[in-house]
Structure 1
Amino acid sequence: MSDRQLLPVEELKEKLSEPAIEVRYLLSKGYARKSAITFVSNHHRLTGQERHILARLVFSPETAEIRIKKKLSCSQLEGCDIFVDGYNVLITIESALKNEPIWFADDGFLRDISGVFGNHRITDTTCMAVDEMLSTLSALKVRSSTILLDSQMSNSEKLAKFICEKAKTKRLKADARTSKHVDFDLKEAGAHAVIATADSVIVDAVDKVADVTECWMKENRKIGKPFSLNAHVRE
């Protein structure tokens, strides 16, 4: 199997179940994350994409617990000021719209496994994802939403303008803008802010986090259900 040919989801879950357990064990014993994933992946002769999946989804029990405690439920977002990691959220929603599998990671956040961030292009599916994201934020009755997009990504200015125009059609106070340092801006949004992202580095650096993709999927059962490599994470 080449790195471009992933197994069907159920077969992938079965193949990666034991490696995931082994990675968690090594992480719980203090092994460096990269070294643990590399060691286990080499032992099981995993492909590059399968290693990527482990890196996206598997964390130490301690790390997972800390992150889960920061995560607000969808019902807790009413009246909140939300700062959205734009591409992080949109790419995950796009993946779901394209019927690609979405996964619950050990830390309780939904993630895609496409790895397309650096090669992302605006398509009709992106426009659909924008509409779904804004509709979800409106349904959650957030007080305000600020969507930040990485300026180094192609057509980010165009996408920001589209989001602002689309937001005018919703019952939503929203702004979208580009930034050269989205991660920094989200980390410095302030104690009052809720950060909508599944980016591990940002989640670790802020106090309150939301998974807008999860809220959207809960309202759109027809999209399908997320999967997990962890028996303790509810699918």
Structure 2
Amino acid sequence: MILLNWRNITNKLIDAAIDYKYLLTKGYPQKSTLDFVSTRYTLSKQERLLLFRCIHSNQYVSEVGSKLMCTKINNFVLLLDFYNILISTINALRGGEVYLCDDCVARDLRGSKLREDDYSYLLNALKVVASIVKALEPLNVLAIVDKNVSHSSEHSMAFVREFESLGLRCAFELTSTPDSKLIRYSKEFANTIVATSDSVVMMYSLRIVPMTTYIMFFLNVKPAFDFTQLFNSDCSKCFDQFKHAIH
């Protein structure tokens, strides 16, 4: 048993994470593996969700790691997974827990929809994202927005106003299938790079900006747990490049 002292992270959960990653790396199916580990360690729903979102096979971590771009992206159009990034930023601004996952990407455990009490944070969240994007200096920004979310058009226009106020060239596209649209554009257009923390989108896109990790650094958020340390993930080069890029 590995003994670690982190907020709300039990030794039982650490052991479960190690077993889960080992079995995924051996090629066992994700759902049945998660069911097995959750039952064996009597994990709560939140603990199970944490493993699902933050722990991956070594093969996945290696492949995604090869796609991460942590420098300025001057010659690329940034495809922004709009609500994925926006909600992650709101969670960080509200003081919600953030976890640094084994693939060098920061994630949280909240749902994928905006709540009523999130709206007071929305403009500030857009300012944070816009500030980071400006430092990365993309050629252009295209926000891919889930049109099924209430007030998505209004949120999209707020995005345009905030980004244009910083001199950023930007546009948005409303769609009912944002994940598939991000993946398709990533493959069809050679000069695109995707900003998301969605594991499936990351797996099938060609290039990734770990935007939620940048947000964590920008807001000086200390992760509730750092799985990159537990599994010795090779993230330091990426993190150093980003910190150099924004200064």
Work out whether the TM-score is over 0.5: yes
Conservation of the 8 A alpha-carbon contact between 2:100 and 2:213: no
Q: Which residue of 2 aligns with 1:30?
A: 27
Q: Which residue of 1 aligns with 2:81?
A: 85
Q: Offset at 1:212?
A: 1.7
Residue 208 (str. 1) matches residue 207 (str. 2) = yes
In structure 2, relative to structure 1, the CA distance for the partners of 1:91 and 1:118 (3 Å cut) is closer
Equivalent position SS for 1:168: helix
Which residue of 125, 132, 142 corresponds with 2:128?
Answer: 132
Residue 71 (str. 1) matches residue 68 (str. 2) = yes
Residue 172 (str. 1) matches residue 168 (str. 2) = yes
Residue 185 (str. 1) matches residue 181 (str. 2) = yes
Which residue of 220, 224, 229 corresponds with 2:227?
Answer: 229
Counterpart Cα distance in 2 of 1:65 and 1:187: 19
Counterpart Cα distance in 2 of 1:178 and 1:13: 41
Q: Which residue of 2 aligns with 1:218?
A: 217
Counterpart Cα distance in 1 of 2:10 and 2:63: 25
TM-score, length-scaled by structure 2: 0.84
Counterpart Cα distance in 1 of 2:175 and 2:37: 37
In structure 2, relative to structure 1, the CA distance for the partners of 1:48 and 1:220 (3 Å cut) is closer
Conservation of the 8 A alpha-carbon contact between 1:145 and 1:175: yes
Equivalent position SS for 1:34: helix
Summarize the alignment of residues 2-41 of structure 1 with structure 2, pairs less than 5 Å apart. 10-12=7-9, 14-41=11-38
Q: Which residue of 1 aligns with 2:245?
A: none
The letter of the residue matching 2:47 is E
Counterpart Cα distance in 2 of 1:143 and 1:226: 34
Counterpart Cα distance in 1 of 2:218 and 2:152: 28
Q: Offset at 1:177?
A: 3.1
Q: Which residue of 1 aligns with 2:112?
A: 117
Q: Which residue of 2 aligns with 1:154?
A: 150
Cα deviation digits, residues 29-71 of structure 1 (max 9, x gap) = 2211111111011111111111111100011111111111111
Q: CA RMSD of the aligned region, Å?
A: 2.0
Counterpart Cα distance in 2 of 1:187 and 1:19: 31
In structure 2, relative to structure 1, the CA distance for the partners of 1:225 and 1:27 (3 Å cut) is closer
Unpaired runs of at least 5, structure 1: 1-7
Conservation of the 8 A alpha-carbon contact between 2:9 and 2:225: no
Q: Offset at 1:175?
A: 1.4
Counterpart Cα distance in 1 of 2:114 and 2:157: 21
Equivalent position SS for 1:142: coil
Q: Offset at 1:119?
A: 5.3
Q: Offset at 1:10?
A: 2.2
The letter of the residue matching 1:192 is N
Q: Offset at 1:14?
A: 3.4
In structure 2, relative to structure 1, the CA distance for the partners of 1:13 and 1:197 (3 Å cut) is farther
Counterpart Cα distance in 2 of 1:90 and 1:138: 16
What percentage of residue pairs aligned between the two structures are identical?
A: 24
Counterpart Cα distance in 2 of 1:226 and 1:64: 20
